Amino acid sequence: MNQTVVIKIGTSSLTVPQTGNLALSTIANLVETATKLRAKGYQVILVSSGAVGVGCARLSLSERPKNLNQKQAIAAVGQGRLIRIYDDLFNNLGQPIAQILLTRHDLRHRASYVNANNTFLALLSLGVIPIVNENDTVATDELKFGDNDTLSALVASLVNADWLFLLTDVDKLYSADPRLVPSATPIDLVERDQLAKLDVDLSDSSSGWGTGGMVTKISAARIATGAGITTVITNGKRPDNILKILAGSAIGTKFEPQPRPENARKRWIANGLVAVGKIFLDDGAVIALCEQNKSLLPAGIIKIEGVFNSCDAVDLYTNTGLKIGRGIANYNSNDLELIKGKKSYQINSILGYEGSETAIHRDNLVIDN
């Protein structure tokens, strides 16, 4: 079966920081690399930033706007120009592309999540390279991914990809920003049991054009590796390094994947949904969920935070505040507050209606690795 590769390139790699103009040589290198991957049998998805930056350059603006409406308008200007450049370059190599614009809403609901997955798979089966960006022209704050690193990890999880490449403005992950801390040491490999305790002095991108720094890339690596996807951070000015990495070269920083989840629904719960509340559990409930693959009963709940409805996603924590998973609640926050710590047989008399004996059923529960 053909392997699927997701490549994310950021604004800092696509543009000249001083002017915001497109770095055409880098884009040409990226296009040639993606086309070569297709020729080798890989299925390729490109997640590309740059719409707002290109729009700013087109309108001769010296900095990104902070006003949401202005940013959306400028993204509309830039998106058309950006995709035209991609289409011209790919067309010269005979490679068809498609544009896909997503908002968080498209992944939050199961039906639209499945539909998005089917669209990607259909395009890949046709030999097309989908070019993905957040739909900045319509996304509001609550419907935004926040950054394209997160978007790329979620797309990689959606299509069950094999590789995620995060192209950035440094050659790999360091213990601190090497541009600010000359003694920073490079990190070549992050093993699967090291990511949670990775000791890195994180700081946001020094570029005024990008929205994500190393913080978001490590967050994206956590999402992707948790879905069983090998993730690599490498230099965005050398997209051709992807071919060498796939051939076995130790370039950039490689994050080892966790065991691949087999259940597509659970991948959606873990990565597609946005948690709107928190539930804190006693030690017995933590053992039942993490070690015995059981459902969460109201008796194991000690505290609830946030306001949510039934069927909303909530994150689960130990009583010491360690996040252990995510699930879909069977009750709203008000009802859960009433039945927390209670036995299941007491639920009906407390609430006055016949409800589920579980707060979260194990089929709607994902435990962190």
For every residue of 45-112, DSSP letters joined together read EEEE--HHHHHHHHTT-SS---SHHHHHHHHHHHHHHHHHHHHHHHHHTT--EEEEEE-THHHHSHHH
For domain 275-367, give its CATH number from 3.50.50.60, 2.30.130.10, 2.60.34.10, 3.40.50.11930.
Answer: 2.30.130.10
**pTM for the full predicted model:** 0.83
pLDDT of the residue at 273: 84
The Cα 231–Cα 240 span in angstroms is 16
What is the full per-residue pLDDT of the chain (369 aa) written as tens digits? 689 999 999 888 887 766 667 888 999 999 999 999 999 999 999 999 888 878 887 887 877 777 778 888 888 888 888 899 999 999 999 999 999 988 887 888 888 888 999 999 999 999 999 999 887 655 555 445 567 888 999 999 999 999 999 998 888 888 777 777 788 888 899 988 877 666 665 554 444 434 446 788 888 998 899 889 999 999 988 999 999 999 999 899 999 998 876 677 888 888 888 899 999 999 999 999 999 999 999 999 999 999 999 989 999 999 999 999 999 999 999 999 999 999 989 999 999 998 899 999 998 999 987
Classify domain 4-266 at the CATH class level.
Answer: alpha beta
**Polymer length in residues for the chain:** 369
pLDDT of the residue at 23: 84
The Cα 355–Cα 344 span in angstroms is 9
Q: Which residue has the tokens 């709107």?
A: 276
pLDDT of the residue at 324: 94
What per-residue string of b and e applies to 251-288 under the rule 16 or more CB within 10 Å gives b? Answer: bbbbbebbeebeeebbbbbbbbbebbbbbbbbeebbeb
pLDDT of the residue at 98: 97
Q: Which residue has the tokens 């509001």?
A: 140
pLDDT of the residue at 143: 41
Query: Which residues of the chain are in CATH 2.30.130.10 domains?
Result: 275-367
Structure tokens at 46: 């490109």
pLDDT of the residue at 134: 82
Cα-only R_g, the chain: 22
Query: Which residues of the chain are in CATH 3.40.1160.10 domains?
Result: 4-266
Q: Which residue has the tokens 């689960």?
A: 316
The Cα 166–Cα 162 span in angstroms is 14
Percent of the chain as helix, strand, coil, to the nearest 5 = 40, 20, 40
